[in-house]
Chain A
Amino acid sequence: MESGAGTQAGGADGACWREIMLKRTCIILFLAVAVTLPFAGIFPVFAADGQRGDKQRDWEDFKGKTTAVMTGSVYDAIAEDIFDASEVLYFANQTDAFNAVKEGKAEIALYDDYETMLAFMGGDYDDMEIISIPLDVVHYEKAVFSTDQPLIDKYDEFLEGIRSDGTLDAMGDRWLYPESSREMPDIDLGGGNGTLTVATSGTRVPYSYVGDDGELAGFEIENATRFAAYLGMDVKFETMEFAGLIPFVLSGKAQIGANWVSITPERAESVIFSKPYYTTGACLVTKKLAAQAESGEEGSGFVAWLKNGIQKNLVQENRWKLIVNGLGVTLTISVSALIAGTILGCFVCFLLVRRTRWARIPVKIYNAIIHGLPMVVLLMVFYYIVFGKSSVSPIFVAIVAFALVQGANIGVILKNAIDTVDTVQIEAARSIGYTAFGAFRRVTLPQAIKVALPGYLNGFVELVKGTAIVGYIAIQDLSRVGDIIRSRTYDAYFPIMFVALVYLAIILIMVAVFKLIIRRVTAGRVTE
């Protein structure tokens, strides 16, 4: 029970008594859970010694190992400074980091102790154990952040209020314990002072996650909503990868970030933190000794796994609606970008076929820039720089960025297709009286389209697949929805596989539709 002692000792020098108490209750509650629930033995550190014959291991035994952390979290610093990790592997969220350990890619993963316990309750990590790190070694103070000092002052005032009237305790009870109700209370909003935009991840149970019917829920959601109410404002949440939170707030796209974020000196250099409302510790996860030896045991049959997967990831809390919405977003971006890109591509092609230099040069520059940047970078440039201070919807930004790429590609595809139509046919058309445009419309274009279609179709497939990165700019597309579900259900495989199947299906359907169109276009012309 060293960790319990550590909790008290560590908590004593920084946080107020309430936080110590909370921390302690957490651990005691978890002890109870660990002993009484069927997953007893998951937390051997807290459970009775040697319950499973595992040797008690100490956090200090895990120095110098391959260590998995979440990108943008505080744990990479611990990995380097305290654990002296031989290698640090970065993952977009904690689920992936844990799975890296499960699969043997990393020996340990570092994370928030409380969240880790919650994750382990799902039963997906039975072959792994949590080893806690004493609070005097590491502890973190959680706070919201902003770039706006008056706003933070307001928040501190607000925090003082909810701390003293017991609301903060109630919030803790509502969200932070295993038996918490986790139901968002009704909060009256809309005092007419505008809208508070809040950056949050939506993938952190129980602070910020997508709950029943796709609504955001969690401690931080309630926290931010209450704060908005306090300010007499409406609230709007933007969700994004954890690593994108601070850049997002810095760019001014959100006034405040609320995601159970720890205060660190580096972060405090770029944003302003409020006073902390909670203190937490860290832990590491690693494989159980027994599991290390006999890793790779199979589950109890594929059908059961599938049933369970569907139940947990799709049916429960109507998560299939999330998938449908994500799919809708992916298709909206893809199809809009295709349409806009096609129009742009026609224009690019028009400039490319001009004989004059001055018409081609801008197109060359445009192509060079668009093709010279990785898509993610281009997307971020558009989101944070080009549309930096304006409050356009991220979906619109994604459409613009993808349309520009499509435009460049389609322009070149069309130009090359037009070049394949032999000039004699065009001259023949002109020689019986067609205008240049008439000859283009009747002779060049139909043939060019036929040549261009396969490349165009290919480009569209690439586009649909390429949109999987829009999660970087706070869009919940199909891929990101998969992540959100994973972070909620702690199921490593099913959501990925399901999302993969959905992608595959829409792409196959799209290809089939296009093929049909191609056949129409090409067959229709000759017998017309």
Chain B
Amino acid sequence: MKILSAENIMKRYGEKTVLENVSFHIEQGEVVSIIGPSGTGKSTLLRGLNFLAPPTEGNVYFKGGRLSKQNIDEARRKMVMVFQSFGLFENMDVMRNITIGQTDLLKKSIPEAEDRAREILKTVGLSDHAHHSPKQLSGGQKQRVAIARCLAMEPDIILFDEPTSALDPAMVGEVTAVIRNLAKSGMTMLIVTHEMEFAKNISNRVFFMDERGIYESGTPQEIFDRPQKPKTQAFIFKIKTFGFSVKSRDFDFIAMLNGIDDFCFRYAVDDKKAGQLRLLAEELVLNIVVPRFGACELALSFPESREAYHVSVAYPGEEVDALETGDELSVALVRNTAKNIERAYDGERGVNTLNIDV
């Protein structure tokens, strides 16, 4: 059963479009992780779903009904949210944090609400902290209370916005453990997170966000082991990249070489590999491609695992292999250094690309 759907959501802040045409469905009991680089609208998406920042355009359907400003307060009781920085009510103790929503909004009696609160506190492992003030709790404990406060509303879905990002690494485990238990109990959850292992283990589905929307989605295996699209790959494999554009024959090649040195230094590329990258770039760009084609795009990259280093040079024109017509000595140097060389041609844009592994 579809519990939550987004239909062509778009969100604009002034001139800036953060989300565009975002649509998806969440099934009852599903756990969906949302990952992606910073600033790609993950929080904006969650806050759009519960109208903390209502979408500029598009519709959200929750349990079949379309959400609007009129019915949102009602809907939020069943679609609660956990924040990165907890948001515990500082003027109340732990117990009151968990009972106040029940008594105010669900119209439960105080004893009833407290009984329920005690049950929930047990499940998040904080039974003995019922009468602590938020100030006396650690970050991990605070987040567990925040989750307990949400659970007290008997929600149908919980939205998590980076629930562990504000925590000491040592405390991440106690919060993820609670969320895992919720998953086991069948709770529907939408979790924005930077904890990749956690996302991979807990989710049924993963959304990778970039380019103003869900850039790629799939099962955890699909996204984490075999991402299909370049930005997903770059993100998952934490690929480090250096790019340089050459626009004319008298370009600033010193700047290019300095850039390569900086890049290698910054990511501690060992001297041998750095020497090879530099040699390839120099021969390919300076001696082979630019003298003949007058322009090119250079890119150096490697994944965090450092299992391979890539050099790519793209140049415009007819389909032609630059290595076949280039300066012989230079081409020999390139062929000797490279482990593997591929050539591709994009006929539409008229761009040749040489992909070289080192």
Taking beta carbons and an 8 Å cutoff, which residues of A are in contact with B? Answer: 422, 424-425, 427-435, 438, 442-443, 446-447, 450, 525-528
Q: List 5 A-B contacts (CB under 8 A).
A: A427-B87, A428-B88, A431-B83, A432-B101, A432-B105
Chain A CB within 8 A of B52 CB: yes
Q: A431 to B89: give the CA distance in the assembly, Å.
A: 13
Residues in B neighbouring A442, C-beta threshold 8 A: 89, 100, 104
Q: Shortest beta-carbon distance, A509 to chain B, in Å?
A: 28
Report the minimum CB–CB distance from B39 to chain A (whole Å).
19
Q: Which of B52, B92, B101, B149 contacts A525 (CB 8 A)?
A: B92
Contact A450 B91 (CB under 8 A): yes
A433 touches B77 (CB 8 A): yes
Are the C-beta atoms of A433 and B131 separated by less than 8 Å? no
Is there an interface contact between B52 and A430, defined as CB atoms closer than 8 Å?
Answer: yes
Asked if A431 contacts B50 (CB within 8 A), the reply is: yes
A438 in contact with B104 (CB, 8 Å): yes
From B85, B92, B93, B153, contact of A432 by CB (8 A):
B153
Tell yes or no: B179 within 8 A of A by CB.
Answer: no
Q: How far is the CA of A421 from the CA of B125 in the complex (A)?
A: 28
Q: Mark B101-128, 1 if CB is under 8 A from A, else 0.
A: 1001100000000000000000000000
Docked complex Cα distance between A446 and B92 (Å)? 10
- B153 touching A447 by the CB < 8 A rule? no
Whole-angstrom CA separation of A277 from B85 in the bound complex: 83
Which residues of chain B are within 8 angstroms of A528 by Cβ–Cβ distance?
92, 96
Residues of chain A within 8 A of B190, CB atoms compared: none
Contact B91 A447 (CB under 8 A): yes
Instruction: Please state if A425 and B76 are interface contacts (CB–CB under 8 Å).
Output: no
A429 and B52 contact, Cβ closer than 8 Å, known pairs A424-B83, A442-B100, A528-B96:
no
What is the bound-complex CA distance between A526 and B132, given in angstroms? 9
B224 CB within 8 Å of chain A: no
- Per-residue A-contact encoding for B57-96, CB less than 8 Å = 1, 0 else: 0000000000000000110110011010111111111001
Contacts of B159 in A (CB 8 A): 431
B interface residue count range (under 10 / 10 to 19 / 20 to 34 / 35 or more): 20 to 34
Nearest-neighbour CB distance to chain A for B337, whole angstroms, equals: 54
CA distance A429 to B96 in the complex (A): 13
CA distance A431 to B50 in the complex (A): 7
Instruction: Find out whether the CB atom of A435 lies under 8 angstroms from the CB atom of B100.
Output: no
CB contact between A433 and one of B73, B83, B146 (< 8 Å): that residue: B73
Q: Which of A425, A434, A447 contacts B73 (CB 8 A)?
A: A434
Q: Are B90 and A431 in contact (CB under 8 A)?
A: no
Decide if B133 is an interface residue (CB 8 Å cutoff): yes
Report yes or no: B91 in contact with A432, Cβ–Cβ below 8 A.
Answer: no
Residues from chain A with a CB closer than 8 A to the CB of B356 are none
Q: A438-B104, A442-B104, A528-B96 are in contact. Are A433 and B87 (CB under 8 A)?
A: no
Is the beta-carbon distance between A433 and B91 smaller than 8 angstroms?
Answer: no
Distance, CA A429 to CA B104, complexed state (A): 11
Is B150 part of the binding interface, using a Cβ–Cβ cutoff of 8 Å? Answer: yes
- Asked whether A424 lies within 8 Å of B91 as measured between CB atoms, the reply is no
In the complex the two chains form, is A424's CB within 8 Å of B80's CB?
A: no
How close is A444's CB to chain B, nearest CB, in angstroms? 9
Which of A422, A431, A450, A526 is in CB contact (< 8 Å) with B80?
A431
Determine the chain A residues whose CB is within 8 A of the CB of B153 once the complex forms. Answer: 432-433
A427-B83, A428-B86, A431-B159 given; name 15 further pairs at CB < 8 Å.
Answer: A425-B87, A428-B89, A431-B50, A431-B52, A431-B81, A431-B83, A432-B80, A432-B101, A432-B105, A432-B149, A433-B101, A446-B91, A447-B90, A526-B96, A528-B92
CB distance from A427 to the nearest CB of B (A): 6
Measured CA separation A433–B74 after assembly (Å): 6
A427/B96 contact (C-beta < 8 A), A434-B104, A443-B89, A526-B91 known: no
What is the CB-to-nearest-CB distance from B192 to chain A, in angstroms, rounded to a whole number?
14
- Expressed in whole angstroms, the Cα–Cα distance for A433 and B156 within the complex equals 13
Q: Are A434 and B105 in contact (CB under 8 A)?
A: yes
Residues of B within 8 A of A438 (CB): 104
Distance (whole angstroms) from the CB of B137 to the closest CB of chain A: 13
Question: Hey, which chain B residues are within 8 Å of A447, CB to CB?
Answer: 90-91
CA gap between A35 and B1 in the complex, in Å: 115
Q: Please report the C-alpha to C-alpha distance between residue A429 and residue B131 in the assembled complex, in whole angstroms.
A: 20
Contact between A424 and B85, CB atoms less than 8 A apart: yes
Is the pair B83, A428 in contact by a Cβ cutoff of 8 Å?
yes
Tell me which of A429, A433, A527 has the highest count of chain B C-beta atoms within 10 A of its own C-beta. A433
Q: Kindly list chain A residues whose C-beta atoms are within 8 Å of the C-beta of B100.
A: 442
In the complex, the chain B residue whose C-beta lies closest to that of A449 is: B91
Tell whether, in the assembled complex, residue A425 and residue B52 are in contact, meaning their CB atoms are under 8 Å apart.
no
Nearest chain A residue, comparing its CB with the CB of B74: A433
Q: How far is the CB of A453 from chain B (nearest CB, A)?
A: 13
In the bound assembly, the distance between CA atoms of A135 and B50 in angstroms comes to 92
What is the CB-to-nearest-CB distance from B63 to chain A, in angstroms, rounded to a whole number? 15
